[in-house]
Amino acid sequence: MSTLIRGGLVVNATGAVPADVLVDGEKIAALLAPGFPIEADRTVDASGKYVIPGGVDAHTHMEMPFGGTFSADTFATGTTAAAWGGTTTIIDFAVQVKGTSLLTTLDKWHAKADGNCAVDYGFHMIVSDVNETSLKEMESCIDAGVNTFKMFMAYPGVFYATDGEILRAMQKARETGATIMMHAENGIAIDQLVAQALAAGRTDPVEHGLTRPAELEGEATSRAITLAKVTGSPLYVVHLSAAQALDAVARARDTGQNVFAETCPQYLYLSLEDLARPDFEGAKYVASPPLRPREHQSELWRGLRTNDLSVVSTDHCPFCFKDQKELGRGDFSKIPNGMPGVEHRVDLLHQGVVKGEISLERWVEISSTTPARMFGLHPRKGVIAPGADADIVVYDPQTRQTISAATHHMNVDYSAYEGMELTGRVDTVLSRGRVVVDGSGFHGAVGHGRFLARELNQYLI
Binding site for ligand DUC (CB under 6 A): 61, 183, 238-239, 288, 315, 317, 337-338
Report the residue closest to ligand DUC, judged by CB: 288
**Residue 212 found at the interface with Zn ion (CB under 5 A):** no
112 or 183: CB nearest ligand DUC: 183
Whether 26 and 389 have beta carbons less than 8 Å apart is answered as yes
Contact residues for 134 (Cβ-Cβ < 8 A; gap 6+): 96, 101, 102, 127
Distance CA 346, CA 152 (A): 27
State the pairing for strand pair 42-45/2-12: parallel
181 or 393: CB nearest Zn ion: 181
Q: Which partner in ligand DUC, Zn ion, none is near 338 (CB below 5 to 8 A by kind)?
A: ligand DUC
H or E element: which one contains 43?
strand 42-45
CB of 57 to ligand DUC, least distance (A): 13
53 or 338: CB nearest ligand DUC: 338
Q: Which partner in ligand DUC, Zn ion, none is near 141 (CB below 5 to 8 A by kind)?
A: none
The three-class DSSP label of residue 17 is: strand
Question: 373 in the Ramachandran plot: left (φ > 0), alpha (ψ -120 to 50) or beta?
Answer: alpha
In terms of Cα–Cα distance, which of 438, 446, 370 is closest to 62?
446
Q: Which partner in Zn ion, ligand DUC, none is near 337 (CB below 5 to 8 A by kind)?
A: ligand DUC
CB of 152 to ligand DUC, least distance (A): 7
**Residue 184 found at the interface with Zn ion (CB under 5 A):** no
89 or 337: CB nearest ligand DUC: 337
**Residue 6 found at the interface with Zn ion (CB under 5 A):** no
User: Measured between alpha carbons, how far apart are the two ends of the chain, in Å?
Assistant: 40
**Residue 315 found at the interface with Zn ion (CB under 5 A):** yes
**Residue 183 found at the interface with Zn ion (CB under 5 A):** yes
238 or 348: CB nearest ligand DUC: 238
CB of 265 to ligand DUC, least distance (A): 14
7 or 336: CB nearest Zn ion: 336
**Residue 95 found at the interface with Zn ion (CB under 5 A):** no
Question: 82 in the Ramachandran plot: left (φ > 0), alpha (ψ -120 to 50) or beta?
Answer: alpha
Per-residue DSSP letters for 225-273? HHHHHHHT--EEE-S---HHHHHHHHHHHHTT--EEEEE-HHHHH--HH
Distance CA 191, CA 216 (A): 11
DSSP 8-class letter at 426: E
Q: Which partner in Zn ion, ligand DUC, none is near 180 (CB below 5 to 8 A by kind)?
A: none
Binding map of Zn ion across residues 249-268, x = CB under 5 A, - = no contact: -x---x--------------
246 or 392: CB nearest ligand DUC: 246
Task: Please state the φ and ψ torsions of residue 213, each to the nearest 5 degrees.
Answer: -65, 150
Residues in contact with Zn ion by the rule CB under 5 A? 183, 250, 254, 315
